[in-house]
Structure 1
Amino acid sequence: MNTVHSSMARQGLSRPRDGRILGGVCAGMARRFGLDPWITRLIFAATLIVIPGSQILIYPILWILMPSE
């Protein structure tokens, strides 16, 4: 698990302490790709509508794998 955390941290994927709503996954993804966190949250919600259920599996997995700051 430490290798996954360090790999994601090297890539710039980490859950920030500020700006979290639930787990910080969308905020971390937004920071990594230079987007506003609300845009990533809207994209997440839109894909939940288009492909129901997939994000319910993806979000908790990313929450576990992405290291916190």
Structure 2
Amino acid sequence: MNQGFRKNRRNGMIFGVCAGMADQFGIDVLWTRVGFVALTLLGFGLPLLLYLAVAILAP
């Protein structure tokens, strides 16, 4: 049964949010990190705010 989103602190670099997303979707963590950086550069910082919100709220 799916427990929902969880951060992965063992494979994470800062808070484990990208590693948790990679685990959730079954992809390599490198792709989630590259996607996050690309979205941050294109999104004028909004993805960074979402990242911080998930880092604070997710278990």
Shorter-chain TM band: 0.7 to 0.9
For these two proteins, the number of residue pairs brought into alignment is 58
Of the two structures, which has the highest relative contact order with CA contacts closer than 8 Å and spacing of 6 or more?
1
Deviation for aligned residue 1:64: 1.1
Return the index of the structure with the highest Cα Rg. Answer: 1
User: Which stretches of structure 1, 4 residues or more, deviate above 2 A after TM superposition?
Assistant: none
List per-residue Cα deviations over 1:29-49 (Å, max 9, x = no partner).
110000111100000001111
Matching residue's letter, 2:14: L
Q: List alignment gaps of at least 5 residues for structure 2.
A: none
Cα RMSD between the aligned structures? 1.3
Q: List alignment gaps of at least 5 residues for structure 1.
A: 1-8
Identity %: 36
- The structure in which a higher percent of residues are helix is 1
